[in-house]
Amino acid sequence: MAELAHIAHIHGELDASQRYAETYLQRCLERDHAIDSAYALYTHAFYARLQGDQERAYSSAHAALDIFSQSHPTAMSPGEQLFELRAQNELARVEGNYTASQESLEQAVSLIQAMGNHYLLADALFDQACFAQQQGKYLDARHLAQHTIKRAESKKLSHFYRRSIHLLRQLAEAKEQQR
């Protein structure tokens, strides 16, 4: 279900993304598996924030981090550590804390690179580029979008390429309007 939420998001269907995330969360909570539930809570927080529901996003991100706090970091797999970092990143975004979101992103990027997952890397960079734009950090947004484009080109991740180009155009238009 998390993958369906992601696919819907890629296609601009945020309502569908949120519905899939909610269904995924319900199923994970029913199974009572802590790490799956934490990931589902992070996913729910991400799509709730994109829908403008800051309260639910905060609650879900915080709940995900509560679950992760019960695990010892050395007992967590790299994937679980990444989920925790992404939940930290999401909580920082919900709080509007760009600096904290950038710090958790940098840690996540290091881990993703060590894992060799190019898709997740492009996804993380692009999401941060969008957040940077929302926070008025236009130079950071441009840099992150350009970095995403480089990754997307080299790994043939066409939707990240297209979306990053679109973001760069938006940034250029915003710059022109400021003149």
- Distance, in Å, from the CA atom of 58 to the CA atom of 155, rounded to the nearest integer, reads 33
Average pLDDT of the residues in 4-20: 90
Same domain for 15 and 83: yes
Q: What is the mean pLDDT of the chain?
A: 94
The whole-number pLDDT of residue 72 equals: 76
Q: How many domains does the chain have?
A: 2
pTM of the predicted model as reported, rounded to 2 decimal places? 0.92
5 belongs to a structural domain:
yes
> What pLDDT shows up at residue 33?
87
pLDDT band at 2 (very low <50, low <70, confident <90, very high): confident
Residue 101: name the closest of 116, 112, 90 by CA.
90
Residue found by looking up tokens 């710059």 in the block? 175
Domain extent at residue 132: 117-179
Residue 96 has phi, psi (to 5 degrees) of 75, 25
Same domain, 65 and 7: yes
* 21 domain-assigned: yes
Residues 121 and 90 reside in one and the same domain: no
pLDDT at position 116: 95
Q: CB of 145 within 8 A of CB of 169? A: no
Last residue in a domain, options 102, 137, 162: 102
Check which CATH number belongs to the domain holding 7 and give it. 1.25.40
pLDDT tens profile 32-89:
889 999 999 999 999 999 999 999 999 999 999 999 999 877 788 999 999 999 999 9
